[in-house]
Amino acid sequence: MDIKFTATSFLSRNLILFHRDEGKYYKKAEGNLPSRRHEDNDAMKIIEDVYMVGSGQIRLSNPVDCHVYLVDYGEGLALIDAGVGLETEFIIENVREEGYEVKDIRYLLLTHCHADHAGGCKRIKELTNCKVVATEFEATLLERGTDEELGLDVAKRSGIYPENYVFPHCRPDRVVRNGEEIELGRYRVKVIEVPGHSKGSACYLFSREGYRMLFSSDVVFFDGTIG
């Protein structure tokens, strides 16, 4: 029997989900944006096992944060990206408000090392003792990249980040390569390196029987734009 898949975007510029087509469509959340964090727990559940727990765009966390996702893989939790590292406690509190224990965050999968995605790695690792996973090129930047290598010099001059922002370097726990697979509970996660937006940018394809979801980060945006 053929399984049909539908690509759907959910409030997100950096997530594409592929799921079994059962004739159901998921509706974008409506209403006014919250002042800082969303007050309705259920509204931030994207689809089965996936929650949005950080976002500057929709005011879940610091205004500079990328979209940060939480995946419940059955035996623990994994974060996709970490935000900028300013007010990281908002992300942690959002995890708690979804009914999860912070100690169960065991992995942080980094898509690339731009500050809005990677600046929070160090603080989240300190708070959760999770393992930080990154591709080889991005792992080097995460551990010791200069402002120029991280693109922060240009971003600061453009006013995207405060002039006094200092990137919190962090040593990754696992370096992965294109095609490598990570076993996370009920999911098998495939690393797909897509150089372009950043030299070591990665997508993460989560798969289990009849169900797949791809976290595309800034490689593909919700409207099909290539990052």
Q: Which residue has the higher pLDDT, 202 or 220?
A: 202
Q: Which residue has the higher pLDDT, 166 or 8?
A: 166
The mean of the pLDDT values for the chain is: 82
pLDDT above 90 (res 1) = no
Give the per-residue pLDDT at 57: 87
* Contact by Cβ (8 Å): 128, 103: yes
Quick one: pLDDT band at residue 28, thresholds 50, 70, 90? very low
* pLDDT digit string, tens, across residues 115-125: 999 999 999 99
Residue 189 has phi, psi (to 5 degrees) of -110, 120
What's the topology of domain 5-20+33-215?
A: Metallo-beta-lactamase; Chain A (3.60.15)
Q: How far apart are CA 30 and CA 81, in angstroms?
A: 25
Q: How far apart are CA 176 and CA 198, in angstroms?
A: 16
Q: Where are the alpha helices (DSSP H) in the chain?
A: 88-97, 115-118, 121-128, 136-144, 147-150, 152-157
CA-based nearest residue to 136, from 85, 76, 176, 89: 176
Average pLDDT over residues 31-49: 56
Judged by phi (left if over 0) then psi (alpha if -120 to 50, else beta), residue 159 lies in: left
In terms of Cβ atoms closer than 10 Å to its own Cβ (0-12, 13-18, 19+), residue 136 is middle
